[in-house]
Amino acid sequence: MPRRRGPAQPFVIAIIVIALDVALMAPLLRTLSEDFGITHRWSAWVIALYLAVFSFALPFAESRMRGIDGRRLFSVSLLLLAIGSAVGALAPAWLVLLGGRTLQALGASGVVPALSQGLRHSRRPVLVRVIGGLLSVLLIIAPLLSAFLNGRWGWRWVFVAFLPVILLLHLIARRLPASSFSRHKRLESGSAFFFLGSLLFAMIAVTRMEPLSGLKVMLHPEVLPYWILSVGLIVPLIMVEKRVEHPLFIPKAANRSFVLVQLTAAISGMCLMVFVIIPGWITPLFPDALGIGGIGLAVVAAAVGGVLPLARRIADRWGSRVALSAGLFALSLASFVLGVSRDFTVLAFALLLLGGGIGLTVSAPLHDLLFGRLPLRRVRTGLVVLGMFRAAGGALGLLLITRLIDERNFQAGEALMMVTAVALAGAFLALRLPGGPAGRGRR
């Protein structure tokens, strides 16, 4: 079992990096809508675009990691993060802010493999545990800090707050051993361009869709061309995948069951984005409670950390499928309660349940589902792809969620009901995944 922790690290660290960014950005959505005069659907792009670019850049960063020194990649990535943060803090227009977020996503995608390799090669387990604990504490502090800075000095100071985090990452990198060149082949990442294009056009289409019923929304002249472009880019993606020896997205015939794992990762990413709307949704319910949006996110983050030991026990005893299914079911139940109740005590319980569901979902060891299904040399690549699908699902899911939010008072009842249904479907799908406890021993 210890040998299998290595391949899982990029997947886990990618989740932590995304969660930390979302925790800082989520309390800003309503403020950004007001300052730039845009709808909540468009303000959500400050997170959705980050997720989309992150999902695209991750395989390229992983490939570069196999051919250059890890500290060099880490330094370049931190520089991109710093430049993106500065651009975001000084952005005079919405598109400039999105440009800064793109640079941040590119930098974060390089941090993941570099930090993963450094932790894997570290011979100081105490340092690894300290770093893990520090990142967990940051997840709880981040939404509180974001809400405080946004309320006191404005949203631009939240981007300034990225700089101390970048400095902390730099100090961590200096404590980790320098990585050597990898003997593994680089990932075949050419199809990732078409993956990003298809995702971006789908995101634009969803954002342009008015909250109406029926197919007429998708067939609207301002929406349909983007859906056509999104679906059309799948064709060249398939063509590129068929020409390479080791395709990135489309598994070979013997590994077709991996498609179900990809779908489940995308669904889980979509459902996890309910975390983003908590600050904007809870603030109108308790307008007299100062910083209630950040407090709500901190409660969820604390519950995530508290449930991790339980998640490991569930996964060890019943397997990844049960852990993932339990997490999605808890997400479904919590979203339903949040959508129908206005009682403070009930909502507090629902937020804790939501955090528990997120913790179970993100900590389910999906690499267990890949052993015996993919060749051992492809497990690490499979985890990178799952990270891409989870981030892409989160980007598209966030826009689907914010599309259903009332622009006047951020009422999110319909959005929460959608997450309830999707998470419940994902819970049943997770139980149908191949592998599990019986499959751990297969090679």
Average pLDDT over residues 130-151: 84
User: Tokens standing for 93?
Assistant: 């227009």
Contact status, residue 349 vs residue 301, Cβ threshold 8 Å: no
Q: What is the pTM of this model?
A: 0.88
Phi, psi of 119 (to 5 degrees): -65, -35
The stretch 13-40 carries a mean pLDDT of 88
CB 122 within 8 A of CB 174: no
Residue-wise pLDDT for 391-416, tens only, equals: 899 999 999 999 888 766 677 888 89
Instruction: Give the whole-number percent of the chain exceeding pLDDT 90.
Output: 38
> Would you place residue 317 in the very low, low, confident or very high pLDDT band (cuts 50, 70, 90)?
confident
Per-residue pLDDT for 274 more than 80? Answer: yes
pLDDT band at residue 251 under the 50/70/90 scheme: low
Counting Cβ atoms within 10 Å, is residue 210 exposed (0-12), middle (13-18) or buried (19+)? exposed
Cα–Cα dist 118/111, whole Å: 10
Binning pLDDT at 50, 70 and 90, where does residue 213 land? low
Contacts of 208 (CB under 8 A, 6+ apart): 220, 222, 223, 226
Mean pLDDT on 373-389 = 74
Residue bearing tokens 């983050």: 301
Burial class (CB in 10 A: 0-12, 13-18, 19+), 428: exposed
Element (H, E) at 227: helix 224-232
Nearest Cα to 429, choosing from 258, 263, 250? 263
